[in-house]
Amino acid sequence: MTTTPPDDPAQGREQVFDHVGDGVCVFDAGLTLRSANPRVAEVLGLPAALLAPGTPVQGWLRHMAEAGHYGPGEVEHEVAWRLERLSQPEHQIVQRARPDGRMIETRRTPLPDGGFLMVCVDVTERLVSEAALFENRQTLEVLLAKTEEGFWFIDNAHRTTDANPAMCRMLGLSHDELLGRTIWEFVDAENEAIFRAQVARRNEGRANTYEITLTRDDGGRVTCVNNATPIHDAQGRKIGAIGLFSDVTAERQASAAARDAMALAAEQSRVLALTLDSLSQGVMGFDADLRLRSWNQRAVELLELPVELLQTHPSLIEIGRWQLAHGAFGQEMDLIEDDADRDAVRRHIADRLSAGEEPVLYRRRRPDGRVLEVRSHLGRDGGQVRTYTDVTAEVQASAALVAARDEAERANRAKSAFLSRMSHELRTPLNAILGFGQLMQSDPARPLEPTQRQRLQQILRGGEHLLALINDVLDLARVETGALPMHVAQVDADALADECLNMVAPVATQRPVRLLPREGSAGTVLADLTRLRQVLLNLLANAIKYNRAGGDVRLVCRVNAERVHIDIVDTGPGLDEARQQRLFQPFERLDADRDAIEGTGIGLALSRMLMEAMGGRIGVRSAPGAGSTFWIELPRADGVAQMPSAAAASASGAAVSDRRHVLYVEDNPVNQLVMQGMLSHRPHVELALAATAAEGLAQARRQRPDLVLMDIQLPGASGYEALAQMHADPALRAVPVLAVSANAMPADAQRAQAAGFADYLTKPLDLPTLLATVDRWLATTAG
């Protein structure tokens, strides 16, 4: 195929084919019409005579001004003003209403020769659609506001002869860099096929709007809609084409995201509906006016409510009155367990309950004896979700649990007595065996022959092993029953770690395993010195026994703001996940019996119990072929979060009848030290510390305190929120909570009292006042 050499591109830009869907016209530098398609007349409301080449733009302006396109203004003034604007070489996008109400959008783009190209679009239907689809319209308006049309001029060889700045930005090239490059350099194989098909259609006179994805010079991709128009010279010869490219990348991405979001929302709605219907709890959702908006079938079953009533979307009070009328609460509401809850529900149904006074959690029995737990989940908008749980089995199990607990305690006492007797009976002969054995071994007057000495060493080794087994079994039983004494104090963890490394060094040499010096520093911890030594020796001994010959054992210490971590690292065969799950079970030795490795299977189980009794933790990280790291964690003695003394008392099992437990929730370390010093005047008071509301609630649930001192300003949840959670917990509801705050205004104390605080103490604390207040409230909880 032969091509006509390209003429002046400026001449080509004066012509536009009639088949372009929008109105397109080109004016030269003198504002004289060079070419226009018939669609311009339809869109702008011009007579066909004004489309003749050579028509000055003033003729268009005057005709439209006289036809009322520009409003009621004076015709010549409008013509002069608009002519002045058209003479400015600038991009313009203007929307206006025709006298018949149709909306027209004109897009004017300056041309290199000083003229301009103008695209005229009837956007009436688009604006109507945008009004009907508000969200899509917003998206399109943003895209249109930020998108410029790209104009790309090519010759018959498809080489770039000109392009506007928008087109250059789309392709990521400067104007000079783009000149002379073919359109095929900016498409992949798939989009090249689209280009070639559209070029063929244009050559046949069937050009249309199509979508194409261009590849930028930096490899990025831009999705565009292109209106392509052939350009002819004055003799009618085709000299190239002009493409009008609109970047719709963001629009396509937004549409895809919107489709994905709609699909996700629909799926979430479906899953939510299925989830609600599959719940074992009844669920009812109320709006800010406490009118029913949603419920599941389980709520209908548990509350025995007619569906017809729920379909009227009754208020929470109306539902309560229906239940009261049908005997759901019993005579005088006696089916509600707690007196305060019963009174609150009664006042709520009578619409005499103030906001915030309704119980968050209460239980009631149905007339058939089933027990329901009603819990309110309050929303920030004033609405709430209520859940209804059938806890009949839980109530029955609780009663059975009390009986089982009593039986377990009796069994524990019997076990302790048995173990005590067995310990005495076993240690007596062992004392003789080991004592006499050591005498024989060290008797210089009657030295043993080598064979006899070897046999005696086996006897002593067996006796020591049996003694260790007895000690481990007794310790395990005593920890389980709370009878193992714990003396928690400050311990120099570094010195203890070095001591333990020295103690196991002979065993490592015999193995042989290389025992490396301690790495890092642990500082001072809160622990029982004897029991921590027992745990470290057990972990080090295991790391040596289960290591490979010639392997290494490392002890690594590190600390953070509140805790101390000690790792025992070996180079043994490692453990898979299943074996790690079995490690800390009593008498579990994995494959040690098969490998003829000595041990009882008690050490790790006992170590875990001892660490928990000291307020610490123990665990393992391992993988087959990668060795194992057994780690322990304890509170720092100089940290803020110290182990509550109540935990030590529980571990020791030596609770004194007159000991009282006080929990102080305070995030300031200095304030904690002040409280510790003040309450040291009361030796019978054991003070536990917590730095956050969540930590305080966790400690209170582990060891129910006799009294709680609560700071108001806490990180995370405030003192008020912590108080609400305690009141919602049946086990902690009766514990008196005293506010301790630096807020000293009368309104602060009134708010605290209204929230349910038993008393209010202000900072700085007065020692006599504090002690008197603590004494008074502890007296109310005595017995």
The pLDDT-based confidence of 363 (bands split at 50, 70, 90) is confident
pLDDT tens profile 691-728: 999 999 999 999 999 999 999 888 888 999 999 999 99
User: Does residue 6 sit in the same domain as residue 76?
Assistant: yes
The three-class DSSP label of residue 571 is coil
pLDDT at 652: 34
Cβ contacts of 696 within 8 Å, gap of 6 or more:
663, 665, 690, 708, 710, 722
User: Does residue 492 sit in the same domain as residue 624?
Assistant: yes
Mean predicted lDDT score pLDDT of the chain = 80
Could you tell me the residue range of the domain that residue 372 belongs to? Answer: 279-390
Domain assignment present for 53: yes
pLDDT tens profile 221-234: 998 888 888 888 87
User: Does residue 668 sit in the same domain as residue 759?
Assistant: yes
Check pLDDT > 70 for residue 680.
yes
pLDDT at 773: 92
Domain assignment present for 562: yes
391 vs 777: CA distance, rounded Å: 34
Check pLDDT > 70 for residue 474.
no
Greater confidence (305 vs 588) lies with 305
User: Does residue 87 sit in the same domain as residue 97?
Assistant: yes
Q: Which long-range contacts (CB under 8 A, 24 or more apart) does 159-168 make?
A: 159/6, 161/6, 161/9, 161/240, 162/9, 162/112, 164/109, 167/245
CB 622 within 8 A of CB 584: no
pLDDT at 6: 47
Among candidate residues 390, 418, 439, the one where a domain is terminated: 390
The enclosing domain of 332 has a CATH number of 3.30.450
CB 661 within 8 A of CB 705: yes
Our CA dihedral for 303, 309, 314, 318, rounded to 10 degrees, sits at -60
Other CB atoms within a 10 A radius of the CB of residue 112 amount to 13
The enclosing domain of 210 has a CATH number of 3.30.450.20
pLDDT at 483: 54
Instruction: Report, as an integer, the average pLDDT of 410-432.
Output: 59
Residue 637's nearest CA partner among 548, 494, 527, 551 is 527
pLDDT tens profile 240-279: 888 888 888 888 878 778 787 787 767 766 666 666 766 7
Inter-CA distances, 152 with 115, 171, 179, 226, 240, Å: 16, 11, 10, 10, 11
User: Does residue 462 sit in the same domain as residue 552?
Assistant: no
Among candidate residues 461, 480, 499, the one where a domain is terminated: 480
Domain assignment present for 651: no
Domain assignment present for 185: yes
Given the structure tokens 């508000």, which residue do they identify?
134
pLDDT at 743: 72
Domain assignment present for 594: yes
Check pLDDT > 60 for residue 442.
yes
Q: How many domains does the chain have?
A: 6
Check pLDDT > 50 for residue 642.
no
246 vs 542: CA distance, rounded Å: 72
pLDDT tens profile 478-490: 565 555 667 788 8
User: Does residue 666 sit in the same domain as residue 767?
Assistant: yes
pLDDT at 631: 92
pLDDT tens profile 318-342: 888 898 888 888 877 888 888 888 8
User: What is the side-by-side order of every strand in the sheet holding 514-515?
Assistant: 514-515, 552-559, 563-570, 628-635, 617-622
The enclosing domain of 509 has a CATH number of 3.30.565.10
User: Does residue 668 sit in the same domain as residue 585?
Assistant: no
Domain assignment present for 649: no
Instruction: Report, as an integer, the average pLDDT of 741-757.
Output: 81
The enclosing domain of 745 has a CATH number of 3.40.50.2300
Query: In terms of pTM, does the model score above 0.85?
Result: no
148 vs 90: CA distance, rounded Å: 13
783 vs 781: CA distance, rounded Å: 7
679 vs 685: CA distance, rounded Å: 7
In DSSP terms, 390 is beta-bridged to: 372
User: Does residue 111 sit in the same domain as residue 37?
Assistant: yes
Domain assignment present for 266: no
pLDDT at 381: 81
Among candidate residues 445, 480, 515, the one where a domain is terminated: 480
User: Does residue 309 sit in the same domain as residue 435?
Assistant: no
User: Does residue 199 sit in the same domain as residue 339?
Assistant: no
User: Does residue 751 sit in the same domain as residue 663?
Assistant: yes
Q: Name the amino acid, one letter, at 150.
A: G
User: Does residue 206 sit in the same domain as residue 85?
Assistant: no
Domain assignment present for 404: yes
